Amino acid sequence: MKNVNLSDIKVLFDENEIRTKVKEIANKLNEYYKDEEVCIVCVLKGAVIFATDLVRELTMPLTMEFIRLSSYGHSTASSGKVNAVDIKLPDLTGKNVLIVEDIIDTGLTAKFLLDFIALNFKTKSTKFVSLLDKKCSRQADVEADYYCFEIDDKFVVGYGLDYDSKFRNLKFIGYADKSVIK
């Protein structure tokens, strides 16, 4: 992979825009679930920052689970194959499950996870919230119930998302031009 520097990254959504949007989505979720208990399923590693900000805006009783899936490896394009690195979950039967993802790109990861949950548990409800939605590169027939921002065909980093394992700690969501990363 090419070496990318912080100076190569342009801001797409800044800290304030993200904070405002996360609160807006949290309000919708608070309205939807009211006082019902929810089990948050956070998809590591990318969704960890979004999930930890989101849950602090949620008012219903909730529990948190973390699973690890991978479809990119060390690339900026989906391999087309989802790797369940760690998908140990408690019994979710009868629970309201809210999957928290960083981005739906091809949709293969989301589809894999939704199918996995449907196959293994009879949940009370299963909803999907994603920080980003790259609708233009969808391959699987799947949509987020809630998302913060729609983006076009960019490889994004920051606020949990990485390039070559770096930049997850950026407070903003940014992108590098294709000529920089390819």
Residues that bind ligand XMP (CB under 6 A): 43, 46, 71-72, 78, 101-110, 155-157, 161-162
- In angstroms, what is the minimal distance from the CB of 92 to Mg ion? 20
Considering the rule CB under 5 A, would residue 46 count as an interface residue with Mg ion?
yes
Closer Cβ to ligand XMP, 33 or 45, answer by number: 45
Does 14 qualify as catalytic in the annotation?
no
Decide the pairing of beta strands 156-157 and 146-150. unpaired
∠ at Cα 34 (28, 39), nearest 5°? 85
CA gap 41, 97 in Å, rounded: 7
Residue 126, binding choice from ligand XMP, Mg ion, none, Cβ under 5 to 8 Å by partner class: none
- In angstroms, what is the minimal distance from the CB of 77 to ligand XMP? 9
Q: For residues 54 and 26, is the Cβ–Cβ distance under 8 A?
A: yes
Considering the rule CB under 5 A, would residue 160 count as an interface residue with Mg ion?
no
CA gap 113, 80 in Å, rounded: 14
Q: For residues 35 and 61, is the Cβ–Cβ distance under 8 A?
A: yes
Catalytic residue among 102, 105, 133, 153: 105
Which listed range, 13-21, 38-46, 127-135, 149-157, lies at the site for Mg ion (CB under 5 A)?
A: 38-46
> What is the token pair recorded at 54?
């989101």
Question: Would you please indicate which residues are annotated as catalytic (active-site) residues?
Answer: 105
